Structure 1
Amino acid sequence: MDPTRRRLALTLLASPLWSTALHAATPAPRQRSITEFGAIDDDATNDATVNTRAIQAAIDHVASQGGGTVVVPRGVFVSGALFLKPRVHLHLDQGAVLKCSTDMKHFPVRRTRIEGHFEDHFNPALINASGCDGLKISGEGTLDGAGRPVWDLFWKLRNAAPDKRNFPNLGVPRARLGLIERSRGVTIEGITFKDSQFWNLHLYDCRDVTVRNARFQVPDDYKQAPSTDGIDLDSCRDVTIEGCHFSVTDDCIAAKGSKGPHALEDRDSPPVEHIRVRNCVFRRGHSVMTLGSEATLVRDVVVEDCTATGVGNIAVLKLRPDTPQQYEDIHLRNLTLDSAGGAVISMQPWTQYVDLKGAAPPRSTVRNISLENIKGRFGTLGTIKPNPGQTEIGDILLKDIDVQLASEGFEVSGAGKLRLENVVVNGKPFSV
């Protein structure tokens, strides 16, 4: 291009008219508010509207137009189960609350993935998405499970049961806040997950997921809201969790998969692998990171640059005697602790709801586990012990740890190649 024509082209590109024409040629993303389809903000009344039909109509309309974003504006909108569709995103404005109905007729039972298998008759979540590649759930609003009456019912029935320990988690109908399955390239950002009746965010068989700056919370005045896990990574790969805040009463983050003596043959349960958790705050919960209860292959997990205050444990590896498990390359590092109790590591048999189904006890392996650069105040270093005759434990490293502990005990048995390097407890070098 000669210099004169080149100058003319650059002049045109820089002109306001060209900029206007360019933006006009690029269609704006479709955004539709749920109020356009009849959703009503009236949760303050005694007979709140259940907006399931209106909100689903918004989702279906946006999908029929080729995709876009469904917006929940400021206000409290009660709903039953909603089903997102491919190319439909969800945005909750600041002050927006999408709240679960506590009437389970609005969550009709269906076949769903739960606790390591598919259950034919269990409730869906408030937000359900399957095969929704590129899904984005964003905003400064809240998904509210309205869980308190459901938790109260759970404990009432459990306390009345003849065998409380084996009262099933699924014995009370209740909804998760989010179930996203078989989706790639998912982003969840800014949302608050509050008072979930069951698990908060359940990711199943997903890949390339980012959960960023989200909050997961249970009221401080509720001692034990049952099964209120923050994030359940069920058979997922390549997941990043960053900048999140957890204050729940069960596992903050749990790696899950299949269970039972034939779990390795379960083609519906690929490994949990390539997980990164960073720059998170764990204020309350059973543990920072739990492997299990239902898990088979979990590998390449890194938790780093996090703060844990008030959680019960840091790393929990549940060893099921009825399931062949392989836990490897699990690393927690650069953690600051501030809690009066709990175990830094709890790796031991977990026997609740175990069923060998007549099979021989399977073999399991735990290897290349490390906890490094950990400081602060906690309860105890914890426990490392296998299912006798079943679990091979090796290559466990505790390095550069300086902690004030309520108890200096460290229960260790059946662990090969356990190394402690520069571990200081209550101001003194510590060894086993």
Structure 2
Amino acid sequence: MKSLYIFTLLIAFLHPVKAQEYDIIRYGARTDSTIIQTKAIQKVIDKAFAKGGGVIVIPKGTYLTGALFFKKKTSLVLQEGAVLKGSDEIKDYPFIPSRMEGQSLRYFAALINAYGVDGFSIKGPGTINGNGLRFWKTFWAHREEMKKMGKKSTNLEVSRPRLIFIWKSDHVKIQQVKLRNSGFWTTHLYQCNDVLVEDTNIQSPFKPVPAPSSDGIDLDVCKDVRIRNCYISVNDDAIVIKGGKGTTAHQLPENGIVEDVLIENCTFGPSHATLTIGSECIHAKNITMKNCVVENNCPILKFKMRGDTFQLFENITIDNISGTCGAVIDLNPWSQFFDLGGSEAKPFGIIKNIKLSNIKVKSSKFGEMQGNPLDQVADFSFKNVEVTTPNPVLKNKYEDVKFENVVVNGKPIVH
């Protein structure tokens, strides 16, 4: 009897039960891209959840939908030629508790939402298209109107949805999918552990209408993240490390560290920066980007140093990068939406143990390291770096910056 039990377990291990698939066409959705199908697709998700979980399959065709909410033990597969196309009506995205720009607040749901769905996955080779053009046009029109009135506009004043928002979910996988034209951030992961983004192509346009704030991947209070074999080109930062902002951000339980991130074998097209740390980040640790190609005119590594937030960035490694870029390093104050909130605190940033090595690029400039007056930089090094640029000077005000075998325009830098 015991042997039979062990044999049964062995068979189960070698031949795991395949999750039930729910093809949305077989469960009531229609191959008609002109009608909104949010209710029909959500009904399939809910049915799968009620039966213990399953894979929601989007077959070939274009399906127009508003916000979809995935439940425990459900996942998403988009087959070849399948397109989930987001509605361009904000009314199709509920206004609910959420997280945006380093703050916990109410905001519009994303096109794809997963809250507390451990093991959630999105797999291609199909496409999730945010259909963001109408949102972008509204955003820029509002900005222009505020400018005429002598006022500034925040990113949240024009209502627009993200493409994907995954919250408090562990063991997440996003693989072999095409992510396009998000109304706002493209992929936002908040309070997630063990994340894999692999073989994924993320794009939003710079013209004819730029896609504002369409960050490629935003990691917000996340741990153990791997991003590999991806192509990212968006009209904002490609990969962004977040986690909170404000004078008390480091004391609030909803904020926190982003650590143990590996970015490898990726190609980065035009964006605002390849890897950005800081605009809404209180603590980043153990971040590595290696074996990547840059094909753009933006910084490889960008630190946004907020004067209204205590920040600690440590153990950052950039290794084996080649191609064309804007700057190798950009470390500067970031004053967008600066707000001390009436506090008399004097926030500052600490940056330590940063290594840039084995970099060979053509760039528009070497870069800048000019943080806020109270910011501290220690153990920052450049090793085996070869740069060809019309602006060879590194504008640096910090002492603890080391150079080893750094050559700019054929001439070694000696410090």
| TM category, shorter | over 0.9
Written as runs of structure 1 = structure 2, the 5 A alignment for 1:299-310 is 299-310=285-296
Deviations 1:279-299 (A, max 9, x none): 000011111100121010011
Correspondence for 1:40: 30
Correspondence for 2:412: 429
Correspondence for 1:354: 338
Counterpart of 2:138 in structure 1: which amino acid? L
CA shift, 1:27, in A, is 4.7
CA shift, 1:109, in A, is 1.1
Written as runs of structure 1 = structure 2, the 5 A alignment for 1:27-426 is 27-43=17-33, 48-120=34-106, 122-162=107-147, 166-219=152-205, 221-222=207-208, 224-339=210-325, 342-359=326-343, 360-388=345-373, 390-413=374-397, 415-426=398-409
Report the CA distance shift for 1:165/1:142 in structure 2 as closer, same or farther (over 3 A): farther
Q: SS of the residue aligned with 1:270?
A: coil
Q: SS of the residue aligned with 1:86?
A: coil
CA shift, 1:270, in A, is 2.0
Deviations 1:370-395 (A, max 9, x none): 1100002111111112211x211111
Report the CA distance shift for 1:420/1:51 in structure 2 as closer, same or farther (over 3 A): same
Larger deviation: 32-41 or 250-259? 32-41
Report the CA distance shift for 1:278/1:223 in structure 2 as closer, same or farther (over 3 A): farther
Counterpart of 2:64 in structure 1: which amino acid? V
Q: Is the 8 A contact 1:261 1:322 kept in 2?
A: yes
Q: SS of the residue aligned with 1:424?
A: strand
CA separation in 2, counterparts of 1:358 and 1:148?
A: 38
Q: Is the 8 A contact 1:223 1:249 kept in 2?
A: no
CA shift, 1:311, in A, is 4.0
Deviations 1:202-260 (A, max 9, x none): 00000000000001112363463200100000010000000000111100000001111
Q: Is the 8 A contact 1:75 1:95 kept in 2?
A: yes
Correspondence for 1:5: none
Where in structure 2 are there 5+ consecutive unaligned residues? none
Q: Is the 8 A contact 2:121 2:172 kept in 1?
A: yes
Q: SS of the residue aligned with 1:40?
A: coil
Deviations 1:371-423 (A, max 9, x none): 100002111111112211x211111101101121121121111x231001111
Q: Is the 8 A contact 1:158 1:167 kept in 2?
A: yes
- Structure-2-length-normalised TM-score: 0.94
**For the pair shown, which has the larger CA radius of gyration, 1 or 2?**
1
Report the CA distance shift for 1:26/1:137 in structure 2 as closer, same or farther (over 3 A): closer
Q: Is the 8 A contact 1:395 1:416 kept in 2?
A: no
Q: Is the 8 A contact 1:166 1:352 kept in 2?
A: no
Q: Is the 8 A contact 1:282 1:311 kept in 2?
A: no
CA separation in 2, counterparts of 1:92 and 1:22?
A: 27
Equivalences, count: 406
Q: SS of the residue aligned with 1:158?
A: helix
- Structure-1-length-normalised TM-score: 0.90
Q: Is the 8 A contact 2:110 2:164 kept in 1?
A: yes
CA separation in 2, counterparts of 1:52 and 1:100?
A: 10
CA separation in 1, counterparts of 2:21 and 2:394?
A: 56
Note the aligned Cα RMSD (angstroms). Answer: 2.0
Q: Is the 8 A contact 1:192 1:214 kept in 2?
A: yes
Counterpart of 2:96 in structure 1: which amino acid? R
